[in-house]
Amino acid sequence: MCLAVPGKIIETEVVNGVRLGRVQFGGIFRQAYLDFVPEAAVGDFVLVHVGFAISRIDAEEAAETYRLLEQAGAPQEELGGSDS
């Protein structure tokens, strides 16, 4: 129920005072309301839930967390962590 899917804003428009985004999810495009993410711009990734973008994904936070994650994972592989 709380499923939210990350997608990339391809373009934005304002219709009747409401800011809408065309959002790409892999090969699928859907319209999402951008009322809750006024800071999100074309090229940003947002999490979309029931037609609304509920957050803008912080690319720097994501990169930093993932870098630490890979770093933590690296030594074990050398110690013989098997491929899946």
Which residues bind to another protein, rule: CB under 8 A?
Answer: 1-4, 6, 8, 18, 25-26, 33, 35-38, 45, 47, 49-52, 54-55, 57-59, 61-62, 65-66, 69-70, 72-74, 76-77, 81-84
Asked whether the beta carbons of 38 and 9 are under 8 A apart, the reply is: no
Rounded least distance, CB 58 to another protein, Å: 5
What's the rounded Cα separation, in Å, for the pair 66 and 39? Answer: 23
- Beta bridge mates, 32: 21
Q: Which one, 41 or 74, has the nearer CB to another protein? A: 74
Rounded least distance, CB 64 to another protein, Å: 8
What's the rounded Cα separation, in Å, for the pair 15 and 80? Answer: 56
